[in-house]
Amino acid sequence: MIDWAKGRVVQCKQLENRPVQELRVALEGAAAEMSLAYHYTDVLPPVKVGDRVMLNRTAVKLKLGTGGIDFVCALLNDGDSRDDGMIGLNDNDGDGSQAGRSAGKMMKLRYTPVQRAVHAVEEDGGGHHAKFRGKLSLEGMPVLIGGLHSMLPVALCWLRFRIGQSDGGKGTSVAYVMTDGGALPLAVSQHAAALRGLGWLCGTVTAGHAYGGDLEAMNKYSALLAARHSLHAGIAIACMGPGSAGTGTRLGHTAIEVAELVHAVSALGGIPIVMPRLSFADPRERHYGLSHHIVSALSDIALTPAIVPLPASLEQARRLFVERQLERSGCGAKHQCIWVDGVSVAETVRAMKPYPHSITTMGRGLRDDPSYFLGVCAAAEHAFRLLPSQADGVPAAPSAEHGDPLPG
């Protein structure tokens, strides 16, 4: 089911560093509603106030959070009331921001009306093909794996904070691998654009049907390898774009891909470090303490062990609650769960201060839900300690003597 509507643009704003316009659209018809819509200028020309547009309103009609905004799917020529007066998705005479990058033969969003050709990093003709013909590995690179997009800026803030404190870590670069578990266009992410603009990311790779990264990749495996061998990252952060979705069931949620990423990193010779989704502010029982999203991915699906760092600064009662969760679920026995010291609320505030945008999870910021931020920073801290440049100065190996291991 798709809900369509026509309307006229009454406000228009170009989003910074992104091929996206944010529009206010007055809808046609008796309801006279006002719509907030996104318009991608990499597939259609930019619009201006007064233009008529066709919108996909499906998620808004369903009152969804994930994808819960209207999207422009066509521009309508004034003076032609027929639908064949539409400017189609391939008629972009606008900024052409993707035009120079569409020489490849890999189709993303395949067999849909908006399928697009991109140049995959693995393809011939782009400068990386030869290396991908051989057998590559991640060469022991730490990979931070997350189940929510908001983990990306939190982890980057902590890594930049710690790298800035360490003479040995200043040459370390961080890449973002965006999977197709959430939003598919990288352009949706304000955080990815901001982090790239700040120079905190050495590049982005969009995997599977996600698109718009500095590099495009066929799948999670080649995306991770591209982060290491094409972007020369010392650490990678792998998680979906904005828009985690779930059904309230054990396995019916997009964060289940955390297990797939653990498998990919392990198979390729990297170090899988799972950023825990912790909360003691979420009113939903299934997301209290360790979210059931992360627990089900690690206990039911993951076939290889991962490192799961947790913040030692959690107050004792909450720490015991998490320990019980890990013991009951079997995660404590199946994975290397460790308590990481040195991550406090005060230090997290310092780490996030240089970042110019607010970071929230389910609408809650650091003050509202500190445990979430501490969990992500604990994982980032552990990844930092694994860097070769830190081996002599900071505990690095993921073994019991380098953290406070959980029972079981």
CA distances from 202 to 143, 146, 235, 337 (A): 15, 19, 10, 29
Of 263, 282, 246, which Cα lies nearest the Cα of 375? 282
Strand partners, 24: 11, 36
Measured between alpha carbons, how far is 280 from 294 in angstroms, rounded to an integer? 15
Tokens describing residue 297: 């991915």
Q: What is the pLDDT of residues 181-191, one digit of tens each?
A: 999 999 999 99
- 3-state SS, 132-155, equals HHCCCCCCCCEEEECCCCCHHHHH
Q: What is the pLDDT of residues 116-127, one digit of tens each?
A: 899 999 998 878
Per-residue tens of pLDDT for the chain, all 408 residues: 889 999 999 999 999 889 999 999 999 986 678 999 999 998 889 999 999 999 999 988 888 776 678 999 999 976 544 444 444 444 444 333 444 455 688 999 999 888 889 999 999 887 899 899 999 999 999 999 999 999 999 999 999 999 988 755 567 899 999 999 999 999 999 999 999 999 999 999 999 999 999 999 999 999 999 999 999 999 999 999 998 888 889 899 999 999 999 999 999 999 999 999 999 988 888 888 899 999 999 999 999 999 999 999 999 999 999 999 999 999 999 999 999 999 999 999 999 999 999 999 888 989 999 999 999 999 999 999 999 876 554 443 333 333 444 433
Measured between alpha carbons, how far is 152 from 162 in angstroms, rounded to an integer? 16
274 within 8 A of 179, measured Cβ to Cβ: no
**pLDDT the model gives residue 192:** 96
Burial of 218 (0-12, 13-18, 19+ CB in 10 A): middle
Measured between alpha carbons, how far is 114 from 90 in angstroms, rounded to an integer? 9
How many Cβ atoms from other residues are within 10 Å of residue 139's Cβ? 11
**pLDDT the model gives residue 363:** 86
Query: CA 272, 275, 281: angle at the middle one, nearest 5?
Result: 165
Q: Residue length, the chain?
A: 408
**pLDDT the model gives residue 407:** 35
Of 377, 378, 396, which Cα lies nearest the Cα of 156? 377
34 within 8 A of 27, measured Cβ to Cβ: yes
275 within 8 A of 155, measured Cβ to Cβ: yes
- 3-state SS, the chain, equals CCCEEEEEEEEEEECCCCCEEEEEEEECCCCCCEEEEEEECCCCCCCCCCCEEEEECHHHHCCCCCCCCEEEEEEECCCCCCHHHEECCCCCCCCCCCHHHCCCCEEECCCCCCCEEECECCCCCCCCHHHHHCCCCCCCCEEEECCCCCHHHHHHHHHHHHHHHCHHHCCCCEEEEEECCCCCEHHHCHHHHHHHHHCCCCEEEEECCCECCCEEECCHHHHHHHHHHCCCCCEEEEEECCCCCECCCCCCEHHHHHHHHHHHHHHCCCEEEECCCEECCCCCHHHCEECHHHHHHHHHHCCCCCEEEEECCCCHHHHHHHHHHHHHHCHHHHCEEEEECCCCHHHHHHHHCCCCCCCCECCECCCCCHHHHHHHHHHHHHHHHCCHHHCCCCCCCCCHHHCEECCC
Query: CA 247, 292, 324: angle at the middle one, nearest 5?
Result: 160
pTM: 0.88
Using the structure block, give the residue that is written with the tokens 């653990």.
262
**pLDDT the model gives residue 405:** 43
**pLDDT the model gives residue 398:** 36
